[in-house]
Amino acid sequence: MTEGNFVDYVKLHVASGNGGKGSVHLHREKYITKGGPDGGDGGRGGHVIIRANPNLWTLYSFKFKKHFAAGHGEHGSKNRSSGAQGEDMYIDVPLGTVVKDTDTNAVLIEITEKEQEYIVLKGGLGGRGNWHFKSPTRQTPRYAQPGIKGEEMQITLEMKVLADVGLVGFPNAGKSTLLSVLTAAKPKIADYAFTTLKPNLGIVEYRDFRSFVMADIPGIIEGAAQGKGLGHYFLRHIERNAVLLYLIPADAPDVKKAFTVLRNELKEFNPELLDKNYVVGLSKCDLLDDELAEEYAKELAEIFPDVPYVMFSSVGQKGLSKLKDMLWESVTNSV
């Protein structure tokens, strides 16, 4: 999937259908010239319904279509015949989509389960026909209820990537390179910050035909929780990942400080992120000679005595098997 096709934020205008009018009709037949009222009810207007579709991965289908309207209910007719209901408008979204009221920013629903549905706007009720209003003192009412109009609103769809492993790190930490080596994904790779502007997904093949999904998320910088850099735009994607892989490059001036900054940014954005299983990976170890790599290993053992960590090189194809073993174990333990 190319970066341009990954759409994870859209605003839509939705409208439910109007209810049909009730009918004003008096029964007439060949030998019945003054029959009673028999006007039918109007049909209900169509609902606007958000529906989960597990076959979708992005919100790309809304890139060019942003207005959705349900059908109007039909008017009632004679012989107490009710009008047909308006056609419901179904809006299919991928799992992990958050639906918000654009005006208030209030969360309406989070779509996380297959076959999940949520009525965003209810259609207007149909009006009652004149036969409902007959009485001993008013036997031929010549009025009926009009249908209730439908509603309109602006909604925002935000998608949070659903993946087993999410890559967390500073810009240029080697996240995209790792994803391209472990999976068939082809993310953009370059030697400058924020090369990745949209999440990229890839499937990592493991032993015995097993696999797990890995997500490359745009880099974090200090202050991201307050919106600095790409801020909230990408931090929300981390919420849906089962396991986090913190990537710290071997040429980082202070490994412990880098790890602390990353953890603090996640904590400020959502403290629950710290409860996720995680692994620390020291990337770009091809930059280290054997002696320096040994010193780094000792330092990491002191910094992370109780945390699983691994040293690897995506370019040099070193330590990747151990990395996959640790990630698989962490993913299976988080289920």
Six token digits for residue 124: 């207007």
Question: Does 169 lie in the same domain as 150?
Answer: no
> Last residue of a domain, which of 128, 159, 190?
159
In the predicted model, what is the mean pLDDT of residues 23-49?
88
pLDDT at 224 over 60: no
Report the alpha-carbon distance of residue 134 to residue 146 in Å, rounded: 17
Q: What count of residues does the chain have?
A: 335
pLDDT at 320 over 60: yes
Domain encompassing residue 48: 1-159
pLDDT by residue (tens digit) across 155-172?
Answer: 999 887 777 888 888 877
Question: Does 243 lie in the same domain as 292?
Answer: yes
What percent of the chain is predicted at pLDDT more than 90?
Answer: 33
β-sheet bridge partners, residue 311 = 282
What's the pLDDT at 106? 94
> Last residue of a domain, which of 138, 159, 180?
159
pLDDT by residue (tens digit) across 264-316?
Answer: 888 888 888 888 889 998 888 887 787 887 887 888 888 888 888 888 888 88
Question: Does 314 lie in the same domain as 167?
Answer: yes
Q: Taking the mean position of all CA atoms in its chain, how far away is CA 331?
A: 21
Give DSSP secondary structure letters for 140-168. S----PPPPP--EEEEEEEE---EEEEEE
Question: Does 313 lie in the same domain as 197?
Answer: yes
227 DSSP 8-state letter: T
Question: Does 189 lie in the same domain as 51?
Answer: no
In the predicted model, what is the mean pLDDT of residues 107-132?
93
Question: Does 201 lie in the same domain as 118?
Answer: no
Q: What is the mean pLDDT of the chain?
A: 83
Fill in the amino acid letter for 104. T
pLDDT at 231 over 50: no
What's the pLDDT at 49? 97
pLDDT at 189 over 80: no
Residues 6+ apart with CB under 8 A from 291: none
Question: Does 229 lie in the same domain as 295?
Answer: yes
What's the pLDDT at 308? 84
What's the pLDDT at 152? 96
Question: Does 195 lie in the same domain as 140?
Answer: no
What's the pLDDT at 198? 62
Nearest to 99 by CA among 50, 153, 151, 152: 50
Report the alpha-carbon distance of residue 335 to residue 282 in Å, rounded: 25
- When pLDDT is cut at 50, 70 and 90, the band that residue 56 belongs to is confident
Question: Does 149 lie in the same domain as 170?
Answer: no
- When pLDDT is cut at 50, 70 and 90, the band that residue 230 belongs to is very low
Task: Find the helix packing angle between 255-269 and 290-303, rounded to 10°.
Answer: 40
In the predicted model, what is the mean pLDDT of residues 139-162?
90
CB environment 81-104: b (16+ within 10 A), e (fewer): bbbbbbbbbebebbbbbbbbeeee
The CATH number assigned to the domain holding 244 equals 3.40.50.300
pTM: 0.68
What's the pLDDT at 226? 44
Question: Does 309 lie in the same domain as 254?
Answer: yes
Cα dihedral 229, 282, 261, 182 in deg (nearest 10): 40
In the predicted model, what is the mean pLDDT of residues 251-255?
83
What's the pLDDT at 15? 97
The CATH number assigned to the domain holding 71 equals 2.70.210.12
In the predicted model, what is the mean pLDDT of residues 111-121?
93
> Last residue of a domain, which of 131, 159, 187?
159
Query: Quick one: the chain helix, strand, coil %, rounded to 5?
Result: 25, 25, 50
What's the pLDDT at 214? 85
What's the pLDDT at 188? 47
Question: Does 327 lie in the same domain as 246?
Answer: yes
Q: How many domains does the chain have?
A: 2
Question: Does 30 lie in the same domain as 168?
Answer: no
